[in-house]
Chain A
């Protein structure tokens, strides 16, 4: 079907002024920006590209053993099961779990398909008694070796949970406590930098600036290496330091931001004016005024024009 209307960008003779301007703006959009091959590779690495667990029949594999278990229990066969389970760990242990899972308790997997049948199966009361009876001491069972991809999967699961809590459920505190668990478990995890980024978002949304600054200090040690949104984070760090009246440190943070934020006009604007203000207030009036003058030339109608003029006086 042919489009019943012409796109604004394709209108050779626009019917009115508004359509002409809309066409002008549409043409200014250009092609959609992409990501460099290295950035794509970074995302791939951070995601781990590990094999997906579950599948269309995963609910069968997760439900049938549990159902069989309870049928057998109902038939009075739990002594046999207890012996069998004491000898071997449950085959339904999540493959990425680093904790030994020696009991017959069904393990809730991550996949959404599995959740409902497992929860239904968990309800019956006898389960607790059996679990108690058959669970050998944890130390007696050697933990299964955890492969790199398994631990990455667990990392991504925890991080995904923290992100979901923060962004979808607006539960910043819950997100932070999930992240605490993540950092305790994976102090040098592959997704540690991404976790720090989420941690900062959560702390800032709770207005816990002091703690956010401590995280920033930690990240600044290696110059935000490997951090997603590094230019933005540098700007935010500078702004927080400026508010705390830690001007020399703010100046350093904004300096890094000015160097790295050229690609984003908004960030560059904030970084440049921030560095100017920080320099002036830390005693480097000449350097600060030069930054502010540069800001006024580059952004004559910018957001911080009044502030820049005020600082220059």
Chain B
């Protein structure tokens, strides 16, 4: 609905889209994508601000003919989250003591606390995702966590649905393989 409205606004030439319009129509989408792509470590408020700062700078150059607004926004969000994750990893490595590095290894402790167990599952999920190729990681998040259809994923990534399914299959296989490696590590020798 929001996308249709945005397209109509731009195509009718009534008025060019402003930052305010884009924020109003899509800030929730951006937040959801950022939360899913970045996982628990990402500061959503910062990501949202950075994404819309980029939108503000690049909006004059964006034309509806070049693609869907959501595709463009998703790409900005994806890049922002990727840079943040990379920086976070770099910072941890930079500051890392022996204990910090050990912290990167899976912990084999399980808590009785349900919330903590859920948090651990989430952290494990993202630990597996973090080792994956960016494209497969994104596709897997959109399919498994966002429960998006192949068509919607294709529209967001600018790919054909058939291509998306190939990526989904490969991403799932890769995830399961990495997950088993992680579980074996957790179980120990």
Contacts and interface: CB of A to CB of B under 8 A. Distances in A.
A302 interface: yes
A55 B16 contact: yes
B1 interface: no
B143 interface: yes
B99 A168 contact: no
Interface in B74-89: 83-84, 87
Interface residues of B, number: 74
Given A47-B19, A112-B60, A264-B40, A28 B121 contact: yes
Nearest to B108: A301
Nearest to B115: A265
B135 interface: no
Nearest to A194: B49
B16 A304 contact: no
Contacts of B107: 301-303
- The interface residues of chain A, by DSSP majority, are classed as helix
Contact of B119 (A51, A52, A229, A265): A265
Given A25-B124, A228-B45, A304 B144 contact: no
Interface in B128-184: 143-147, 149-151, 161, 165, 168-169, 172, 175-176, 179-180, 183
Nearest to B52: A47
B99 A303 contact: yes
Contact of A52 (B59, B87, B117): B59
B50 A163 contact: yes
Contacts of A42: 45
A304 B99 CA distance: 6
A98 B95 CA distance: 40
Interface of B: 16-20, 23, 27-28, 31-32, 35-36, 40-41, 43-46, 48-50, 52-54, 56-61, 63, 83-84, 87, 90-91, 94-95, 99-100, 102-103, 107-111, 116-119, 121-125, 143-147, 149-151, 161, 165, 168-169, 172, 175-176, 179-180, 183
Given A18-B180, A49-B19, A303-B102, 10 more contacts: A22-B175, A24-B121, A47-B56, A49-B20, A52-B56, A58-B60, A112-B61, A228-B43, A266-B40, A306-B99
Interface of A: 1, 3-5, 7-9, 18-19, 21-22, 24-26, 28-30, 32-35, 39-40, 42-44, 46-47, 49-56, 58, 110-114, 156-157, 159-160, 163, 167-168, 194, 197, 201, 204-205, 207, 228-229, 232, 239, 264-266, 299-304, 306-307
